[in-house]
Amino acid sequence: SSKVARCALQNAASVAGMVLTTQAIVVEKPKPKPRVAEPAPGTLTV
């Protein structure tokens, strides 16, 4: 039963470590800023 407890603890530590590293790596990608609309070609801007 000691082996079962040790195995369970190792698995729990492994999962916890994976969750921590995943949260550190996965970041939201910043949204690109909308570009200013350019006038259509052929139009005159004053």
CB 39 within 8 A of CB 45: yes
**Model pLDDT, residue 36:** 74
In a domain, 34, yes or no: no
In a domain, 40, yes or no: no
Six-digit token string for 39: 């006038």
In a domain, 9, yes or no: yes
In a domain, 15, yes or no: yes
31 C-beta neighbours (distance < 10 Å), count: 6
**Model pLDDT, residue 10:** 92
Distance between CA atoms of residues 26 and 5, nearest Å: 31
In a domain, 36, yes or no: no
**Model pLDDT, residue 23:** 66
Distance between CA atoms of residues 7 and 15, nearest Å: 12
Per residue in 12-26, pLDDT (tens digit) is 988 888 877 776 666
Residue range of the domain that includes 19: 1-27
In a domain, 5, yes or no: yes
In a domain, 37, yes or no: no
Give the number of domains in the chain: 1
Diameter of the chain measured on Cα atoms: 84
The model scores a pTM over 0.75: no
In a domain, 39, yes or no: no
